[in-house]
Structure 1
Amino acid sequence: MKGTVINTAVISTLLAASTSLAIAAGGAGVVTSDPSKHFDSKGKAPSQFTIDSQNSLRQSLPFDDKRDFEEAQRGFIAAPEYKQIMAEAGNVAWDMGSYDWLLNEGESFDTIHPSLQRQAVLNMAYGLYEVIPDKIYQVRGYDLANISFIKGKTGWIVFDPLTAKETAAAALKFINEQLGERPVVAVVYSHSHADHFGGVRGVIDEADVKSGKVKVIAPEGFMHHAVAENVMAGNAMTRRMFFQYGVLLPRSPYGHVDQSIGKNTAAGNLGLIAPNVTIDKDFVDMTVDGVKMVFQSTPGTEAPAEMNTWFPDMKAFWAAENITGTIHNIYTLRGALVRDALEWSKQINVALYEYGQEADVMFASHSWPRWGNDRIQEVMRAQRDTYAHLNNQVLHLANQGVTINQIHNEYKLPESLVRQWSAHSYHGSEEHNSRAVLNRYLGYWDANPATLMPLSPEDSAPLYVEMMGGSDKILKKGKALFEEGKYFHAIEILNKLVFAESKNQPAKDLLADVYEQIGYQKESPSVRNSFLAAAYELRHGMPTGASPKASGPDMIKGMSTGLWLDFLGVRLDTEKSAGKQYIINFITPDNGEKYLVELSNSALTNIEGVQADKADLTITIDRSELNDVMMGAHSFDDKIKAGKVKIEGDSQVIKDLMSSLVTFTMAFELLPGTLPDTDK
């Protein structure tokens, strides 16, 4: 908008940067390669140290426990003939076949941690599965999450309708083809991550929700958290997803193999229909289409708004994403607020004693069900105890002086939990989760004044390189450490050299070789992907391609006006706004909202429900009209010309504000020397 509130380009950029919503894992365009050879001309085979490590794990881990494989295939009804699902935009939204190389029976890949390979094979379940005959079904392998169907008197009650409209619609079509067509009478969002609500428009129509014909049930705070969790640092989070989720790594034994709670995330149309039923108490009993349910609110666990569900007549427990086939992230590497391991453990404990004593089946939004009360209690206790042990033992060590820079090398899971597959940290890792617990309680500082305000790496690195005798000596020592299998020792010196000499390609290539071997050895795909994606960028620069998308009209409508104004403050260039001061009354009359927006001391703030008697500018626009501008459907000038915006006061104020806003892009380096010269 030229001279009024916000122009289309600014809003489009805001949304691209701010609506990279929280999803349990990321996804993008499908990149495949020949699994028999490395996809990268600079890539290396696993070293003997890596091979020895994998062989040792094959001997020491409890691979004789086959129960997960039996449970993952139990109740299989049918698989579709297709492996790909196309997006409405014409791209491949989902390609289960891109991982078929994992199904070569008896083949062990030395480039994959044996435990991760096991998990990756378990996550190859594809098709329609029966959980309880004639009552509960799941379609698995259509997206990162499972979509679950509860058979009511007249139709389906859908739990967690996947990430994308296209995959959810395909799942509904497939179950109807196999079991007979039934309408969807209700949808339950278990929590506020996009892989659990984004496909809702593939299974229901919003008009039916607004009329009350279809119930959409969600925990308290769902809408706020579904939109808001990643807004403020959304651009940085999306860039970091290139590492954690390996979104542009080829699907290969040398690249992306799994996402721990599923194969990957569908790259289709993400939507959101607001719930018309909110669960606002710790326990809520409800009957929907003849099915009795008890909802257990579990805020502050895997998501800030989440709930489990108990089906008393079926003795079935739905564990949402609180109990799956992995220990989850306490800190997710893409970036998010640190979760509470202790609260997570306590909420599992509540479920164990409320429902776990009598449950006959436990199923969830990821992984596979468990049947039989003894088995259910075993898994619930293993995950409860893993989160509790993580919290308690980290603090036990911290209270004896172990710091955040040491804890990941000190914390160990007890052997009794190591022997239980459900206690393995695929989505998380013991290393980064232990650091997260300590950070939650004590923060990032280790109490050594030398680390409180350190030099930036690019400033300290040249001093290290000089004192170590220059790049040739560092490279020689780095190669020696690499050949000895001392990979983390090699990182310590090679990382300094790369920061000091960002154009030193031999140094970057050697550091990439080190990262690659570490990636091969890691059980957690989040950690594996981070090392392998970093290796690729060091060798070739930041890749281009389709990155994860979580924006769209529904997301924009769901964003509160206050959150949008907050993010304008994040985008403010404080040098350009220095010395400027003004007050704006911002009014959206159709929803009754009023905000006072103030610029002072190079900080842009807002407060809801307050108006200034002597504002420099008053802007009045219906929120429904603002949505159009935010989505890029119309410019603000269009709205002014159409008489949809009212301006009172000094219009120069908004021109100054707009000229002070930064347009975020993902063209920034996570590692030095990885952007094309033209972009620097």
Structure 2
Amino acid sequence: MKRFLVATLVTAISTSLYAADPKPATDTTKQVNQSLLESLPFSDKKDFENAQKGLIAKQDTVTIKNDKGDVVWDLEAYKKYISLDKPAPDSVNPSLWRNAQLNMINGLFEVTDGIYQVRGYDLSNITFIKGETGWIVFDPLISQETAKAALDFVNEQLGERPVVAVIYSHSHIDHFGGVRGIVNEEDVAAGKVQILAPDHFTEHAVSENVIAGNAMGRRAIYMYGALLPRNEFGGVNGGLGQTTSTGLATLIKPTDTITKTGDERTIDGIKMVFQYTPGTEAPTEMNTWFPDKKALWMAENTTNTMHNILTLRGAQVRDALIWSSFLNETIEKWGDQVEVKFQSHHWPMWGKEDIVNYFKKQRDMYKYTHDQTVRLMNMGYIGSEISEMIAFPESLDKNWSTRGYYGTLRHNSRAVYQRYMGWYNGNPSDLNNLPPADAAKKYVEYMGGEDAVLQKAQSDFDKGEYRWVAEALKQVVFANPDSEKGKALLADTYEQLGYQAESGPWRSEYLQGAFELRNGVPSTGGVVTASPDVIKNMPPTMLFDYLSVRINPEKAAGKTFSINIDFTDLKEKYTLSMENSVLNYTSKVADKADASLTLSKSTLDDIQLGNITLEKAIADGDVKVNGDSQVFQDFVGMLDKFDFWFNIVTP
């Protein structure tokens, strides 16, 4: 499962924490970026034409606030330093700068007759299909505030119409989180609004951050550069869009699902044919063909960049081979008819020949990554070696839509290796190796001590050998986290690597690392990995899985007990059992449990959301405990609480 409930809900983090001034680009970085500028076809302006085609209107100011007055989306912060006529600064990879310029082209656009998009109001696009009586909305962004702002803008420009249907293309939050900004649950329940999604949508949408949410949320701060200033030395572009909005993410369950390719629906006079593509960019996803318009909606299965096979924040590895096969199916089904393709990120494309050529390159990008990684793997090379050896043919490498603004060939090839071979590279030295801090102390000792390493590292930094300097100085910092000189030089090194990065996430990773080396790890704010709607839609079994990973084995050692739980509103009963420091659960209720709880799922939701304490719920009678109450108290005491701000670039 891809877990995308990530740095979308960053709260209470201020970029004013950026205390240390960034350093300018070095001569080496300038040369690297200049070399790329000279090697790619920057004279090709077709993308800029497509990104601006069909513009109906744009708002002078795109700053969106929530009910409290907090800014949840601010395109203006980027407008201060990114414009179409400004060349890339020395501190920004020129190819990434180009992608940022394209993503800054915002407003309301007509894709084709009756199909409109609002772009530049979130990481993703929101699409409006004009039906006979109302709007059919595809992928309502991350936050309810941004989705509402987009709907208001469309109604202002094109005439007010009700939303009669919402289509979720897949289970990532930037494609459903804003739904309550455009419809309400009462209208859905009354049948006034349909919500359509691919099969198993709710299961995957809810589960994305339940088990590993804390770790992935922390790492997402790096991937999206949440603490970086918005300027040429900080956050520039996220690859798929500028960044993520930080409003309230919501969810309303689908009323209908697509289970196979070829499923058709006609909603408000609009005929749609679906291609079901599970296991591609998301665990469940679907493309949509509009036969009357010769238009193809590609969800996130194709965008104008290389996507991730494995995200830097962490996830289960995607299947590049399946992904490419579904794109081949797309070509076979509609390649001879399509006149316009559009998707949930970036800008559309028009013209059958250009579209099919684009599809082929997207297909072959993933197939090449898979095939050549496996070829080299079967020759005995390991992931780090393969990532250094693999290279696209010129037809893919010089093509803008297959450049690595989000995923990269380097880390995607490692992901393919990981999918087949796992973490172990086969060398016995790596089978039971020391953890980073312990190994670092020995490395520094073997290299002649900290001062000797710093001296050599400074020399190599001056030569522009940043990749090696980062590796060497990592050992210094992990061996001695109080080494101010080590942290300072490592921060400078990460900074230059960030300035050179073509991938938006790579830039953020490096610059966020530099930020924390210079300023320390923050202690306030964080990422909300489960919104109220996600909690509400979480089934009891998913909650039990989450409680299981919170069990502290030392506190649970030697404990054996069982607890029956009766959810009165669901009419479901379960038994939790503790043995061997492991929590298990079953729907086969024990006859003689040590304790029994009776409560509603809604009460449990309120407890999880902090609306009520467990003690108060018990006192109010909303939670009834029978049997040995101490057993239940012991169980609660075994549950660890996860600290969000764990260290990453320091031990």
TM bucket normalised to smaller: over 0.9
Deviates more, 1:504-513 or 1:642-651: 642-651
Question: Equivalent residue for 1:634?
Answer: 612
Distance 1:543 1:663 in 2: 18
- For the residue of structure 1 that corresponds to 2:602, the secondary structure is helix
Question: Equivalent residue for 2:346?
Answer: 367
Give the aligned residue type for 1:257. Answer: V
Question: Equivalent residue for 2:629?
Answer: 651
Distance 1:207 1:352 in 2: 40
Give the aligned residue type for 1:392. Answer: D
- For the residue of structure 1 that corresponds to 2:554, the secondary structure is coil
Say whether residues 1:109 and 2:89 are aligned partners. yes
Give the aligned residue type for 2:27. Answer: Q
Question: Could you give the per-residue CA deviations for residues 176-229 of structure 1, whole angstroms, max 9, x where no partner exists?
Answer: 110100000000000111111111011011101111111000111111111102
Give the aligned residue type for 1:177. Answer: E
Where does the alignment leave 5 or more consecutive residues of structure 2 unmatched?
A: none
Superposed, 1:32-111 pairs within 5 Å as 41-100=20-79, 101-103=81-83, 105-111=85-91
Q: CA deviation at 1:168?
A: 0.6
Question: Equivalent residue for 1:132?
Answer: 112
Q: CA deviation at 1:639?
A: 2.9
Say whether residues 1:458 and 2:444 are aligned partners. no
Distance 2:645 2:157 in 1: 47
Question: Could you give the per-residue CA deviations for residues 236-292 of structure 1, whole angstroms, max 9, x where no partner exists?
Answer: 111111211101111111110011111111111111111111112233111000000
Distance 2:189 2:10 in 1: 32
Distance 2:556 2:144 in 1: 42
Give the aligned residue type for 1:119. Answer: N
Say whether residues 1:147 and 2:116 are aligned partners. no
Q: CA deviation at 1:104?
A: 5.9
- For the residue of structure 2 that corresponds to 1:586, the secondary structure is strand
Distance 2:621 2:32 in 1: 69
Question: Equivalent residue for 2:496?
Answer: 517
Question: Equivalent residue for 2:183?
Answer: 204
Kept in 2, the 8 Å contact 1:24–1:195? The answer is no
The partner residue of 1:495 within 474, 487, 490 is 474
- For the residue of structure 1 that corresponds to 2:116, the secondary structure is strand
Kept in 2, the 8 Å contact 1:26–1:247? The answer is no
* C-alpha spacing 1:623/1:159, structure 2 compared with 1 (3 Å): same
* C-alpha spacing 1:104/1:22, structure 2 compared with 1 (3 Å): closer
Q: CA deviation at 1:470?
A: 0.9
Kept in 2, the 8 Å contact 1:249–1:256? The answer is yes
Give the aligned residue type for 1:477. Answer: K
Question: Could you give the per-residue CA deviations for residues 569-614 of structure 1, whole angstroms, max 9, x where no partner exists?
Answer: 111110011000111122213212222211111111112x211122
Give the aligned residue type for 2:404. Answer: S
Kept in 2, the 8 Å contact 1:88–1:268? The answer is no
Say whether residues 1:417 and 2:396 are aligned partners. yes
Kept in 2, the 8 Å contact 1:128–1:140? The answer is yes
Distance 2:564 2:267 in 1: 45
Superposed, 1:188-587 pairs within 5 Å as 188-543=167-522, 546-587=525-566
Kept in 1, the 8 Å contact 2:209–2:530? The answer is no
TM-score (norm 2): 0.97
Kept in 2, the 8 Å contact 1:30–1:250? The answer is no
* C-alpha spacing 1:367/1:20, structure 2 compared with 1 (3 Å): closer
Where does the alignment leave 5 or more consecutive residues of structure 1 unmatched?
A: 1-18, 674-680
Distance 1:254 1:627 in 2: 42
Q: CA deviation at 1:81?
A: 2.9
Distance 2:346 2:282 in 1: 17
Give the aligned residue type for 2:494. Answer: Y
Kept in 2, the 8 Å contact 1:582–1:616? The answer is yes
Question: Equivalent residue for 2:100?
Answer: 120
Kept in 1, the 8 Å contact 2:18–2:519? The answer is no
| Root-mean-square deviation over aligned CA pairs | 1.9
* C-alpha spacing 1:162/1:484, structure 2 compared with 1 (3 Å): same
Q: CA deviation at 1:25?
A: 6.2
Q: CA deviation at 1:645?
A: 2.7
Question: Could you give the per-residue CA deviations for residues 107-159 of structure 1, whole angstroms, max 9, x where no partner exists?
Answer: 221111111011010000211000113x1000110111100000000000000
Give the aligned residue type for 2:255. Answer: N
Q: CA deviation at 1:652?
A: 1.1
Distance 2:549 2:573 in 1: 21
Q: CA deviation at 1:24?
A: 7.8
Q: CA deviation at 1:492?
A: 2.4
Question: Could you give the per-residue CA deviations for residues 331-359 of structure 1, whole angstroms, max 9, x where no partner exists?
Answer: 10111111111111111111111112211
Question: Could you give the per-residue CA deviations for residues 412-442 of structure 1, whole angstroms, max 9, x where no partner exists?
Answer: 1111101111111211111111110000011
Distance 2:451 2:605 in 1: 57
Distance 1:88 1:303 in 2: 32
- For the residue of structure 2 that corresponds to 1:633, the secondary structure is coil
Give the aligned residue type for 1:125. Answer: I
Give the aligned residue type for 1:428. Answer: G
* C-alpha spacing 1:545/1:179, structure 2 compared with 1 (3 Å): farther
Say whether residues 1:622 and 2:604 are aligned partners. no
Question: Could you give the per-residue CA deviations for residues 432-481 of structure 1, whole angstroms, max 9, x where no partner exists?
Answer: 11110000011111100110111011111111111111111101100011
- For the residue of structure 2 that corresponds to 1:308, the secondary structure is strand
Q: CA deviation at 1:23?
A: 4.5
Distance 1:478 1:174 in 2: 54
TM-score (norm 1): 0.93
Q: CA deviation at 1:106?
A: 3.6
Give the aligned residue type for 1:657. Answer: F
Kept in 1, the 8 Å contact 2:523–2:645? The answer is no
Distance 1:23 1:615 in 2: 36
* C-alpha spacing 1:573/1:527, structure 2 compared with 1 (3 Å): same
Count of aligned positions: 650
Q: CA deviation at 1:544?
A: 5.4
- For the residue of structure 1 that corresponds to 2:555, the secondary structure is coil
- For the residue of structure 1 that corresponds to 2:457, the secondary structure is helix
Question: Equivalent residue for 2:649?
Answer: 671
Question: Equivalent residue for 1:3?
Answer: none
Question: Equivalent residue for 1:4?
Answer: none
Give the aligned residue type for 1:653. Answer: V
Kept in 2, the 8 Å contact 1:54–1:113? The answer is yes
Distance 1:212 1:72 in 2: 36
* C-alpha spacing 1:240/1:567, structure 2 compared with 1 (3 Å): same
Distance 1:32 1:48 in 2: 31
Give the aligned residue type for 1:604. Answer: L
Kindly indicate whether structure 1 or structure 2 has the higher relative contact order, using CA contacts under 8 Å at least 6 residues apart: 1
Question: Could you give the per-residue CA deviations for residues 476-515 of structure 1, whole angstroms, max 9, x where no partner exists?
Answer: 1000110111111212221111111110010111111111
